[in-house]
Amino acid sequence: MLKKTGILNRDIAVVLSQLGHTDTIIIADCGLPIPKETECIDLSISLGNPALMDILQTVMQHMEVEKVTLADEIKLNNTKLHHEITSKYRNMPTDYISHESLKKAIKNAKAVIRTGEATPFANIILHAGVIF
């Protein structure tokens, strides 16, 4: 049966359906280095397309997220995107770690969704919650 609602990308739909409590996925800019052993769902079409916020908003509608983690560097080096994320998800617990620590966390993520985002430190770790 052809799916006509929700997330139509089959790779993202599968990853989300297999998440357990505290599992993580990362929504990344087009420059984040992703190890070969980590599943990469590459949505990048062109520089800036799709934007990280577009993908984040869609995934957040379909995933129970208990907290997000951002690179500390986003606060000073990408204030616009930082403000967009923290304004839209102001009630979401948010941690900050160094960009180097974020890159190390990739190996523990269930998947990285690569966007076309081309702004500095535009990467976000989503920590799966529970729906009950």
Is residue 52 left, alpha or beta, with left meaning phi > 0 and alpha meaning psi from -120 to 50? Answer: alpha
pLDDT band at 7 (very low <50, low <70, confident <90, very high): confident
What tokens appear for 100 in the block? 């180097």
Q: Which domains does the chain show, CATH number per domain?
A: 10-128 (3.40.1650.10)
Q: What is the pLDDT of residue 2?
A: 59
pLDDT band at 79 (very low <50, low <70, confident <90, very high): very high
Tell me: pLDDT of 127 over 90.
yes
Confirm if 119 and 93 have CB atoms less than 8 A apart: no
Does residue 65 surpass a pLDDT of 60?
yes
Q: Is the peptide bond before 50 cis (omega within 30 degrees of 0)?
A: yes
For 84-111, the pLDDT digits (tens) are 999 999 999 999 999 999 999 999 999 9
Q: Which two tokens stand for residue 96?
A: 């900050």
pLDDT reading at 1 higher than 70:
no
With CA atoms as reference, report the closest residue to 43 among 32, 28, 33, 58: 28
What's the whole-model pTM score?
0.95
What are 103's two structure tokens?
A: 């890159």
What kind and span of H or E run contains 74?
helix 74-77
Query: From CA 105, how far away is CA 83, in angstroms rounded?
Result: 23
pLDDT for 8: 85
- Is residue 4 pLDDT above 80, yes or no? no
pLDDT at 86: 98
pLDDT above 80: residue 67:
yes
Q: What does pLDDT average to over the chain?
A: 96
Q: Which residues of 28-67 are buried (b: 16+ CB within 10 A; e: fewer)?
A: bbbebebeeeeebbebbeeeeebbbbebbebbbeebebeb
Q: Which residues are part of the catalytic machinery?
A: 21
